[in-house]
Amino acid sequence: ELLKTEDTVFHQSPLPHLTLKTFGHLKMGGDLPSDANHYFDEAHTLFTAGREPDRIEQLLVLSLTESPRHTDSWEHLAALLFWQEKVEEALVAYTQLYQLDNSNLETAAHIAECYDRLGFRGLSRSYADHLPILNQNIRNEEVTEIINRLNE
């Protein structure tokens, strides 16, 4: 079972906990808030400065509690968790982000990278095999870097 421990960002409040229970496939109605808020603004400032990762995590959970469909909060949370090498948690956050915006190629690339790091090569390939084709015209550098890492 994914994230058996109770010591994760997904156990801090009800919304992230529901996200964990659905493995990042929590269906959220379009009527839920998706706006940035002061929690996100403060988290973004700290994130950009590379300071206080624990505080950033707390602020992003508060941001998502207030605005569950705020994709930038999900993206920042996923990136922070991945950077902290909490790959299982990052995967859940990236999956929820993908659920909210499946047009973001970087998110799909990060999901592939998470699966790869966790040893799920088949699942990783199911995302990664499509990335070069989808990125052909966009030429997103982040996606290209992830493709290269996955092909090493």
Distance CA 85, CA 104 (A): 22
Residue 20: C-alpha distances to residues 2, 36, 69, 83, 117 (Å): 9, 22, 15, 19, 19
Looking at the chain, how many residues does it have?
152
pLDDT digits (tens, 9 = 90+) for 6-47: 555 555 555 565 666 665 556 677 777 788 899 999 999 999
Q: What is the pTM of this model?
A: 0.83
Q: Residue 73's closest CA among 88, 85, 61, 84?
A: 61
pLDDT digits (tens, 9 = 90+) for 60-79: 999 998 888 899 999 999 99
